[in-house]
Amino acid sequence: MSSHSLIWAAVPHNSDGVVFQIRIARGQQRFHVSRRVLEDIFELERRAPDARQLQLFYACIERILAKAATKRSIAGADTVALLSIDFDSSSSTRDRWTGQAGARGAL
């Protein structure tokens, strides 16, 4: 597992994804991965029961915790939503490419 330790994970009452809390820096941070993200990124079956959402979360925990840690490296009081774009590796590559192109243009 990553350097950030999972404290707890649960499916909220509305059955929309998984809420989890990890220890980061010197605090704790709550995150939410919606059902839509689980379906689109991690291929959760449509209308999957709560137990299946949690099972998939634990199966993909390394990737999810890594993204959570990069999205919020210092703990705060709010719950941070992990979005589909957070897991889209091509968007981060595109962002790096755009930044490099901009830097070259300034030279």
pLDDT of residue 14: 93
* Containing structural domain, residue 72: 5-106
Number of domains in the chain: 1
Q: What is the CATH number of the domain that holds 64?
A: 3.30.160
pLDDT digits (tens, 9 = 90+) for 61-85: 999 999 999 999 889 999 999 999 9
What is the model's pTM? 0.78
For the segment 19-29, what is each residue's pLDDT rounded down to a tens digit?
A: 999 998 789 99
Structure tokens that stand for 14 in this block: 């509305």
- The one-letter amino acid at 74: I
Check residue 3 and give its pLDDT. 56
